[in-house]
């Protein structure tokens, strides 16, 4: 059996998301609105938590979900509107190779966005693609054999290394 090493418990995940949200608020305090696009499923849950904080601090926040199908096609729901493309944030739980983020960015760039930033809960630092992370919760150097699992479900929020 593979041993699980907890890297973020529920409290640390909440604190990390708060820190990211308040960094965004500090950086975008003069903006009226931002757009969060979260990868299904965990990235979207993280985006919803960030939205709750940014909106309580007077930044209107529009949220979208980006899904990948079995053929690696990405769709954003609801569709992006030209009204909310000034400050766009792409949100995911773990940055592994960077492939998913690249494909997500490719889908977003089909629109005429002005500013795009990335938010990652756990960055493994094993990018195979030139991805920079603008807001990161935890940078964790791992081996290529290591796997990070993030669970963001009602009553259970945890990130662990196997």
Give the domain CATH number at 49: 3.40.50.2020
Domain count, the chain: 1
**Which pairing describes strands 60-68 and 33-39: parallel, antiparallel, or unpaired?**
parallel
Cα–Cα distance, 96 to 129 (Å, whole number): 10
Quick: pLDDT tens for 87-140: 999 999 999 888 889 999 999 999 999 999 999 999 987 777 778 899 999 999
HSE-CB for 129 with a 13 A CA cutoff: 14
Are the CB atoms for 65 and 38 separated by under 8 Å? yes
Tokens for 10, please give them.
């529920």
Within-domain flag for 1: no
Within-domain flag for 123: yes
Cα–Cα distance, 131 to 70 (Å, whole number): 23
Within-domain flag for 2: no
Domain that holds residue 42: 10-161
Within-domain flag for 5: no
Within-domain flag for 4: no
Quick: pLDDT tens for 32-72: 999 999 999 999 999 999 999 999 999 999 999 999 887 77
């Amino acid at each position: 059996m593979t041993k699980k090493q907890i890297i973020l418990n529920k409290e640390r995940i909440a604190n990390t998301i708060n820190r990211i949200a308040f960094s965004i608020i500090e950086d975008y305090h003069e903006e009226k609105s931002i757009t969060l696009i979260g990868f299904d499923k965990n990235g979207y849950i993280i985006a919803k938590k960030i939205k709750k904080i940014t909106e309580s601090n007077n930044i209107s926040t529009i949220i979208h979900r980006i899904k990948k199908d079995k053929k690696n096609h990405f769709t954003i729901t609801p569709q992006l509107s030209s009204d909310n493309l000034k400050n766009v944030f792409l949100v995911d739980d773990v940055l592994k190779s960077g492939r998913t983020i690249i494909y997500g960015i490719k889908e977003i760039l089909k629109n005429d966005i002005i500013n795009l930033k990335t938010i990652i809960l756990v960055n493994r630092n094993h990018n195979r693609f030139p991805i920079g992370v603008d807001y990161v919760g935890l940078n964790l150097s791992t081996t290529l054999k290591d796997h990070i699992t993030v669970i963001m479900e009602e009553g259970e929020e945890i990130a662990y290394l196997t």
